[in-house]
Chain A
């Protein structure tokens, strides 16, 4: 149905149909770039489980409340298997990416669990905590280089992006010299504007590169993840490459955007910035609060019902698609009083910025270590840090599946 036809038809009368179907991905307002799109916020307030229309004209349910989002994502009757007919895709590129090479992200148990458990030991809390000295060293080196003889720079290009890229390359055993190659490909894969052809080409190039890398580890094994996945003998080179692609992209784009967007959010909330600077012991909680407040996976998580399930008073039928908006769940006043404000002293641990259920972010212990070190060090070493362009000119990533800023010119 087109927008015009839908307005003509008017809102339905069933449960979850009193608001007109919302177009997804929903557009944000320029003036409030940290807040969820007005459309999804309205749904949270007025009709928390509501109908939505996706970019390709298909319909799905939108689930917005904290409790309901946890229920859906934690319920095995909602499938993440993107090969099921009717699965709701949030972009053409997203559909293409899955249609050709599904990763564990879009599979159900037991296959999902089998693959995930090959990786859980590598990302567990103890291992990631043990990375602190290395992450600190890389952080200091990047800041040394960024500040040497200069008083301004683009924080994304010189700090926020290289840090997690260096770390994930180290963990996977991918040569960092190739970062331009894989960063360009991953931008194409994550852009909401990429065509199917662009996505397919980028995907093929990235996989080809990773297959070659995996093959080379057969000859010259090392202690990093790709090499160990190969020597386990349970996956072939192409399967290892698919897993490597997921880790490589998930491992740098997310933390990079969180680092830059968190810096900007703190600069825009000078009282919170001052609190954090005065008391660095707040950093762990502050990172949880920033994850909640910013929720960079901003278009929501897609699932499909395999049985009829009641969610928030609405019956979702088997075969219907569901999108759970994490950003509205993280702004739900019932769970987070004063949710619209950034409060670095808040206990935000129940946020769902990493998702919920068995697919909850595998890399979260790593992301936490990186964000805590990056932000603490940045604030400590650059006490005069400020935005170097008018706030209105900051290029927000409205066009990307992972929210953030394309660049962040700062001075100190």
Chain B
């Protein structure tokens, strides 16, 4: 799983930090999203997907690994 963020779209609502605090954080100076881990382990998949789904600005996308 690979996570992408778009800081230009981000509106700093912070829901991703609540859903997946090991993957997302907010920048000190302006509260905009930063990635702590672009390739989170599989056990965080659900939390990361939830974060992407609730992001109000569609600033998070998740790339799933090819199924084998």
A in complex with B = yes
Q: How big is chain A's contact interface, by range?
A: 20 to 34
In the complex with contacts A121-B30, A124-B31, A125-B26, A116-B56 CB distance below 8 A: no
Q: Interface size class for chain B?
A: 20 to 34
| Known contacts A125-B18, A125-B26, A349-B50; A117/B57 CB under 8 A | no
A227 to B17, CA, bound (A): 28
Of B8-16, B35-43, B60-68, which stretch is located at the interface?
Answer: B8-16
Q: Specify which of B17, B18, B32 is in contact with A117 (CB 8 Å cutoff).
A: B32
When distances are taken between beta carbons in the complex, the residues of chain B under 8 Å from A368 are 18
Give B46 Cβ to nearest chain A Cβ, in Å.
Answer: 11
Digitize A319-355: 1 where CB-to-B-CB distance is under 8 Å, 0 elsewhere: 0000000000000000000000000000001100011
Q: What CA separation (Å) do A288 and B15 show in the bound complex?
A: 12
In whole angstroms, how far apart are the Cα atoms of A365 and B31 in the complex?
12
Q: Taking A125-B26, A364-B13 as contacts, is the C-beta distance between A120 and B31 under 8 angstroms? A: yes
Which residues of A have CB within 8 Å of B54? Answer: 349-350
Give the chain B neighbours of A356 by CB distance below 8 A: 56
Bound-state Cα–Cα, A356 to B26, Å: 19
Cβ A120 vs Cβ B30 within 8 A: yes
The residue on B at minimum CB distance from A288 is: B18
With most chain A CB atoms within 10 A of its CB, the pick from B19, B27, B29, B57 is: B57
CB-based nearest B residue for A351: B54
What is A's interface to B at a CB cutoff of 8 Å?
Answer: 73-74, 113, 116-117, 120-126, 349-350, 354-362, 364-365, 368
For this complex, 7 residue pairs linking A to B, each with C-beta atoms less than 8 Å apart, are A113-B11, A117-B30, A117-B32, A121-B30, A124-B26, A358-B56, A365-B18
